[in-house]
Amino acid sequence: MSTIDRSGTFTLGDRTVKRLGYGAMQLAGPGVFGPPKDHDAALAVLREAVASGVNHIDTSDFYGPHVTNQLIREALHPYPEDLVIVTKVGARRGADGSWFPAFSSQELTQAVHDNLRNLGVDVLDVVNLRSMFSVHGPAEGSIEAPLSVLAELQRKGLIRHIGLSNVTLAQVEEGRRISNIVCVQNQYNVAHRSDDRLIDELARNGIAYVPFFPLGGFSPLQSSILSDVAQRLGATQMQVALAWLLRRAPNVLLIPGTSSVAHLRENFAAAELDLPKDAVVALDGIAAHAPAH
């Protein structure tokens, strides 16, 4: 059994994936814009991920833009039969790297075709609609119009499955009335736990939950509890954060990102990290002390 196999599996659409996957965002340049500083290293990370047993890769054509999808194609095409590539639409990039909502029918359709072309596939495994009502996190607003565009592209055979990203519980409920939603991707970690209720609701319905920023992303967690637990277990803070997420619920799928093969291997070792009960209790308490967002 490989290290990643120890993370377990969950159903994503009509496929079974290992719960420890890989997120490609960090393969683009600084600010998720432009090419990587080391092209060959980026290819090596992708190939190492798949060689290690990863069969769930998260990406988007607005990473770069186009950069991560083109790297994935160069490194891995033709793709292994069991590999599920999940992408997302709903944003576009300015010439200076800024982020803009891209929710019109034309923009969403163009984004799907861009993903198809840059990944080198005839159909996208999963497309997440990323809500952009607020750049700071999920914000209420109807997603019916953009989601209906994706549902139509699904009917045309360009998309197998649809997911949602950066959404509220109300938006998930609205989305499920329009389409079969197979996953939800939001920010969630040991300190940022506003989606606790949503995760449990999705678990009851067999829907995957894919947390991003397991260590806080652009503003990393500063937690003495996390660092103390990591030190006691002889592990990295990232390994502890990932192990805690794997324990949180069976429908949680992880997509830690890195541009380093060494860090990649470190992250994957989280699947073998056994958190003692007192460590879990301590980690569970971090959210109570975290500053409100």
* CATH code, 187: 3.20.20.100
**Which is catalytic among the residues 22, 63, 79, 209?**
63
Predicted confidence at residue 223, as pLDDT, reads 85
- Residue 292: inside a domain: no
Give pLDDT < 70 ranges for the chain. 1, 218-220, 290-293
- Residue 293: inside a domain: no
Q: How many domains are contained in the chain?
A: 1
Predicted confidence at residue 81, as pLDDT, reads 97
Predicted confidence at residue 293, as pLDDT, reads 47
d(CA 44, CA 48): 6
- Residue 158: inside a domain: yes
Predicted confidence at residue 222, as pLDDT, reads 74
Predicted confidence at residue 287, as pLDDT, reads 86
Predicted confidence at residue 218, as pLDDT, reads 65
Angle at 256 between CA 67 and CA 203, to 5 degrees: 115
- Residue 5: inside a domain: no
- Residue 4: inside a domain: no
d(CA 17, CA 103): 29
- Residue 35: inside a domain: yes
Q: Would residue 63 show up in a list of annotated catalytic residues for this protein?
A: yes
Q: Which structural domain, as residue segments, surrounds residue 185?
A: 10-287
- Residue 1: inside a domain: no
Predicted confidence at residue 219, as pLDDT, reads 65
Beta bridge mates, 15 = 12
Predicted confidence at residue 135, as pLDDT, reads 72
Phi, psi of 91 (to 5 degrees): -140, 160
- Residue 261: inside a domain: yes
Calculate Rg over the CA atoms of the chain: 18
d(CA 98, CA 235): 36
Written as six digits, the tokens of 288 are 């109570």
Measure Cα distances from 217 to 41, 104, 157 in Å: 21, 28, 34
